């Protein structure tokens, strides 16, 4: 009977012992050490587990590594306007491998991402090392995305549609002009950021080459960027499209960015300035994202060319966290054909895009299928039948994995 009493007493004490805070936890609460240092002090050895990729955690050395893959295979049928052949084809839209992690108990972070789709061999996307002197600031150097466009900053695995809006792809800075898919803009340079007001306000600045990703020529052009994002209420998680989290509380934020490129393309006197302003809203399966862009470029010899664009995108989960329907409209003003960036390179005076996407999520953005229809109109570009405009209807089925 005495032994039974002792066992019962021990069992009653276990919950209190389990819930008791460790010395490391108390020191972190008092600000004596950081949360990452407390975690490292409380663990020895290493662990292997899944956390948005296969994660290797060596707590005793303060080093971690996440290894992941991304695959996007698609079928696309394009019903071109009269005078042009229709196109039916399968393709690997993306095939990537990435490694990211931390060092010295999260004082440093790093990321490398390389793509292999498109028949061009290995194609470096991201490659940078970042220093975090404190929890609310960082400084990183390498190759990464420029600040123009919230949708540009959103990883391709977390998009609501198979492709970004035509306005985003047109005004994104750092886009490689030889990439027919209008790959998200990246450049090489330096970035610094700080979080204020308990993380509700984030300010970011960049100083870049101004020549796009994987470009190392000695042109005199440079690019300067500044961005800000403010959480008006809740956490909209604006860099993940769709309300896959199914927010029980409203999430709403706004963002803005400014980019200036000197001697664009290595041509003296052809400076370019772009502004983007966006907002994101999420609540119980409903999501909305909108963004506007304006661009002004100097023309060699005098004068300026203006371009502008916008998109509005809405989605709703008919079955929470599983089945979603989304719609989007995007437009670009090419300044009567004078602006030649992105979709305006066709010579169009205006480009309009409308689409709908049916998305099924087996495992959030990590494993999903998308069936989309996109209609694009290029005003002022004659088709083969002699009409003043050219239209294209695209039907896309895409399977996407990211783990």
- Does some domain include residue 68? yes
Q: What is the residue range of 275's domain?
A: 64-316
- Does some domain include residue 335? no
- Does some domain include residue 312? yes
Q: Are residues 46 and 121 in the same domain?
A: no
Q: Are residues 101 and 185 in the same domain?
A: yes
Q: Are residues 210 and 250 in the same domain?
A: yes
Q: Are residues 188 and 43 in the same domain?
A: no
Q: Are residues 83 and 231 in the same domain?
A: yes
- Does some domain include residue 365? no
Q: Are residues 183 and 230 in the same domain?
A: yes
- Does some domain include residue 148? yes
Q: Are residues 109 and 155 in the same domain?
A: yes
Name the pTM for this structure. 0.84
Q: Are residues 153 and 243 in the same domain?
A: yes
- State which of 265, 290, 316 marks the end of a domain: 316
Pairing of strands 137-145, 123-134: antiparallel
Write the Ramachandran bin of 37: left for phi over 0, alpha for psi from -120 to 50, otherwise beta. Answer: alpha
Count structural domains, the chain: 2
CB under 8 Å to 11, separation ≥6 — which residues? none
* Largest Cα span, the chain: 100
Provide the CATH number for the domain around residue 191.
Answer: 2.40.160.10
- Does some domain include residue 142? yes
- State which of 316, 344, 361 marks the end of a domain: 316
- Does some domain include residue 403? no
pLDDT digits (tens), the chain, 403 positions = 555 454 444 444 444 434 445 556 666 676 666 665 665 555 556 888 888 888 999 988 889 999 999 999 999 999 988 777 899 999 999 999 999 999 999 999 999 999 997 766 778 999 999 999 998 999 999 999 999 999 999 999 999 999 999 999 999 875 444 343 334 589 999 999 999 999 999 999 999 988 888 877 666 678 999 999 999 999 999 999 999 999 999 999 999 999 998 865 555 567 889 999 999 999 999 999 999 999 998 877 778 899 999 999 999 999 999 999 999 999 999 999 888 888 888 889 999 999 999 999 999 999 999 999 999 999 988 776 667 788 999 999 999 999 9
Q: Is residue 113 classed exposed, middle or buried when 0-12, 13-18 and 19+ CB atoms within 10 A define those classes? A: buried
Q: Are residues 178 and 40 in the same domain?
A: no
Answer yes or no: are the C-beta atoms of 154 and 328 closer than 8 Å.
no
- Does some domain include residue 233? yes
């Amino acid at each position: 009977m005495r032994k039974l009493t002792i066992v019962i007493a021990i069992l009653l004490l276990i919950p209190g012992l389990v819930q008791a805070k460790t010395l490391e936890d108390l020191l972190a609460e008092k600000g004596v050490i950081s949360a990452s240092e407390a975690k490292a002090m409380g663990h020895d050895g290493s662990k292997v587990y899944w956390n948005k990729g296969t994660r290797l955690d060596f707590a005793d050395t303060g080093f971690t590594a996440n290894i992941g893959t991304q695959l996007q295979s698609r079928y696309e049928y394009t019903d071109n306007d009269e005078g042009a052949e229709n196109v039916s084809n399968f393709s690997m839209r993306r095939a990537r491998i990435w490694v990211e992690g931390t060092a010295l108990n999260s004082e440093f972070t790093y990321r490398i991402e390389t793509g292999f789709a498109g028949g061009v061999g290995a194609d470096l996307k991201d490659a940078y090392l970042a220093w975090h002197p404190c929890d609310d600031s960082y400084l990183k150097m390498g190759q990464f995305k420029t600040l123009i466009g919230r949708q540009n900053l959103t990883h391709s695995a977390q998009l609501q549609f198979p492709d970004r809006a035509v306005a985003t792809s047109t005004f994104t800075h750092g886009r490689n002009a030889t990439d027919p898919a209008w790959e998200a803009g990246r450049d090489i340079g330096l970035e610094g950021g700080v979080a204020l007001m308990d993380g509700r306000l984030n300010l970011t600045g960049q100083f870049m080459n101004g020549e796009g990703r994987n470009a190392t020529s000695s042109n005199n052009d440079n690019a300067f960027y500044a961005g800000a994002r403010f959480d008006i209420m809740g956490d909209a998680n604006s860099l993940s499209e769709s309300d896959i989290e199914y927010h029980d509380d409203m999430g709403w934020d706004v963002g803005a960015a400014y980019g200036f490129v000197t001697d664009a393309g290595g041509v003296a006197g052809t400076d370019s300035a772009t502004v983007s302003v966006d907002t994101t809203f999420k609540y119980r399966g409903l999501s909305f994202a909108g963004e506007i862009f304006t661009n002004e470029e100097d023309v060699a010899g005098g004068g300026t060319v203006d371009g502008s664009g916008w998109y509005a995108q809405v989605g709703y989960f008919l079955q929470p966290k599983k089945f979603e329907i989304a719609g989007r409209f995007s437009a670009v003003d090419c300044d009567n054909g004078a602006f030649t960036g992105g979709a305006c390179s066709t010579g169009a005076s205006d480009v309009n895009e409308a689409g709908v996407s049916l998305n099924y999520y087996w495992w959030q953005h990590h494993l999903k299928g998308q069936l989309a229809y996109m209609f694009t109109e290029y005003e002022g570009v004659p088709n083969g039948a002699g009409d003043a405009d050219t239209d294209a209807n695209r039907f896309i089925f895409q399977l996407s994995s990211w783990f």
